[in-house]
Amino acid sequence: SFTRFKGELRFENVSFNYKGKPEPILDNVSFNVATGEKLAIMGATGSGKSTLLNLIPRIFEATEGKIFVGGVEVNDWPLKDLRDTIGLVPQQSILFTGSILENLSWGDSDAAPDELEEAAKKAQIHESIDLFPQKYKTRVGQKGVNLSGGQKQRLSIARALVRKPSILILDDSTSALDVKTENALWDALAKEAATMLVVTQKVQTARGADKILLLDEGKVVGYGTHADL
């Protein structure tokens, strides 16, 4: 059924170079993630991790090879539907001037307040928000409250969860979280049916994934369970 393959992701011999730059940033990358599985992506800075993630919602298009989401090649997806089904949390959290509520519902203005709160709870940010006198109406950004790096990351994760993506992608989005908060986050996310891709520098985080993909200069140099590698 469609549901079974909804969150499936497959890279088939994917290569990529940025326009005007001949050197391959990704070189013949293949892997697959089943619906509900969690894949950790590791590799040195500049190894191509963010580039790989950006190919999935077609922010850039693969130069060679094919990428399938839910069994359908990304090029065959209507772009809006593709981007709705993929929740990509970028490395740098992007918050705009406005309330926490507005920041959470960005891109999904139909979301009900209780859905926003539920996403915030899963992302482990609800308790911090609840401590602000104006709660979800608290302003962030210019003239707003100062959020810590970890709070911004959790707010960005909550924003992605609001849209109930079938594939959730975290690009080093938990780097500023302490171990306890991060564990609580993984526990909450494990209850979601979503497939997850997580770029991380932390061995601890990678160990909790079903599989690890190790990149070096755009090439896959390791792929398997933590025990395999």
Q: Give the binding site for ligand ATP (CB under 6 A).
A: 18, 21, 25, 43, 45-51, 91
d(CA 146, CA 136): 14
Strand, coil or helix: 30: strand
Residue 215 C-beta: closest distance to ligand ATP, Å: 7
Residue 26 C-beta: closest distance to ligand ATP, Å: 8
- State the DSSP code for 145: B
Residue 146 C-beta: closest distance to ligand ATP, Å: 25
Strand, coil or helix: 80: helix
Residue 20 C-beta: closest distance to ligand ATP, Å: 8
Cβ distance to ligand ATP smaller for residue 124 or 205: 205
Cβ distance to ligand ATP smaller for residue 41 or 100: 41
Which has the closest alpha carbon to 161: 178, 177, 173? 173
Cβ distance to ligand ATP smaller for residue 117 or 172: 172
Cβ distance to ligand ATP smaller for residue 24 or 150: 24
Taking the CA atoms of the chain, what radius of gyration do you get in angstroms? 18
Residue 162 makes CB contacts below 8 A (sequence gap 6+) with 104, 105, 108, 111, 115, 116, 119
